[in-house]
Amino acid sequence: MKRLLALLLALCLLCGCSAKPVTAQGFAMDTILSVSLYQGGSQALAQEALSLADEAEARLSCHREGTEISRLNQEGCATLSPETAELLAFCLDMYAASSGALDIGLGGVSALWDFSAEQPSLPEESALLEALSHAGADGLRLDGNEATLLDPCMQLDLGAVAKGALADDMAALLRERGVTSFLLNLGGCLYLSGGKDGEPFRVGVEDPRQSGSMLGVLYLTEGAVSTSSGAQRGFTLDGVRYHHILDPKTGYPADAGLLSVTVVCPSGLLADALSTACFVLGEEGAAALLAQFPQASALLLLEDGSLRVLGSLDFEPA
């Protein structure tokens, strides 16, 4: 009898392990989003988590009419929701911490670049310089939920942080509803919780030089993983690669000697902000920035093909 019970228990555990996750996919913020629930939750909950993306986009997009950010961009002042105000306050702190490398005030400049155009072209130099003269997130004033652009020509673009903030919101919802193991994949930003089948998640870090091949595997039970690289979005013109992560000093794609930056930390928002800022800053600047955030670690792929780990990561190179 005891043996039979033990066998049944073993079978139940095995079934539990091999049970298929509940999954749901959507599209928002110009990227495919996927939610996988391994322990707890339901299809309806996975969909509810995805619907947070539409809500976030309806607040934060600078490409759509009527969002909080578009209203602020158009009118120069706006009363924001507490969530948006909190996000902007975080971005102002990161602007200072990164010496301006993460600049959400770069919207006028990013609008001049079209990285998904069928026939891409470079922005006019004079237009770029003009837009750059209005950039700089320190021109944003926040007084509680009241936001003002001191320079009304400054335009905000939250593209560098929106997915990370969304990952945190989705993760909070899932935890609140008792999901103990899940994985969110929001383009370059992942959020993992609770390990998988009692083991840490294995996260492949893509090699930006060759699609489909890996730099190695990260082992992680809990937290966010954000990757910024020039391979994600961009075009090649006359043999030169132009990508979507811009250097706020020049208005042109950042070119600080890094091919990709992967940041691991407990918060999706911080991971997303840091990966973009580190990519702009380059190896030395990234090390100095990361030193301010002991909860974060990073994997840098340098232009010469070498890897550098900042902080501590459970990473196995390929």
Q: Is residue 190 within the footprint of Mg ion (CB under 5 A)?
A: no
**Residues 17-56 as x/- pattern, contact with ligand ADP by CB under 6 A:** ----------------------------------------
Nearer residue to Mg ion within complex by CB, 37 or 186: 186
List the interface residues with ligand ADP, window 204-263 (CB under 6 A).
228, 232-233, 244-246, 248
| 37 vs 102, beta carbon nearer Mg ion | 102
d(CA 72, CA 146): 10
The entry of Mg ion, ligand ADP, none near residue 280 (CB within 5 to 8 angstroms by kind) is: ligand ADP
Nearer to ligand ADP, 109 or 220 (CB): 109
Among 24, 28, 106, 258, contact with ligand ADP (rule: CB under 6 A): 106
Q: Which does 188 bind (CB under 5 to 8 A by kind): ligand ADP, Mg ion, none?
A: ligand ADP
Q: Applying CB under 6 A, does 280 fall inside the site for ligand ADP?
A: yes
Report yes or no: 132 and 151 within 8 Å, Cβ to Cβ: no
Q: Which is nearer to Mg ion, 46 or 278 (CB)?
A: 278
* 172: Cα separation from own chain's centroid: 16
Rounded Cα distance, 311 and 309, in Å: 6
168 binds ligand ADP, rule: CB under 6 A: no
Do residues 227 and 185 lie in contact, with contact meaning Cβ atoms separated by under 8 Å? no
Which of 168, 207, 272, 283 binds Mg ion (CB under 5 A)? It is 272
Q: Which residue has the tokens 């939750």?
A: 41
Cβ proximity of 208 and 218 under 8 Å: no
Q: Is 207 in the site for Mg ion (CB under 5 A)?
A: no
**272 scored as a contact of ligand ADP (CB under 6 A):** yes
- The rounded distance, in Å, linking the Cα atoms of 149 and 145 is 13
Q: Which of 160, 184, 220, 263 binds Mg ion (CB under 5 A)?
A: 160
Judging by beta carbons within 10 Å of its beta carbon (0-12, 13-18, 19+), is residue 181 exposed, middle or buried?
A: buried
Q: Which partner in ligand ADP, Mg ion, none is near 104 (CB below 5 to 8 A by kind)?
A: ligand ADP
- Check residue 69 for interaction with ligand ADP (CB under 6 A): no
Cα 282 off chain centre by: 18
| 139 near ligand ADP, rule: CB under 6 A | no
The enclosing H or E element of 278 equals: helix 268-291
Q: For residues 92 and 50, what is the distance between their CA atoms, to the nearest angstrom?
A: 27
How many Cα atoms are found within 13 Å in the side-chain-facing hemisphere of 16? Answer: 12
Which H or E run contains 94? helix 82-97
Eight-class DSSP state of 254:
P
Residues that bind Mg ion (CB under 5 A): 160, 272, 276
Residues that bind ligand ADP (CB under 6 A): 101-104, 106, 110, 157, 159-160, 163, 187-188, 228, 232-233, 244-246, 248, 272, 276, 280
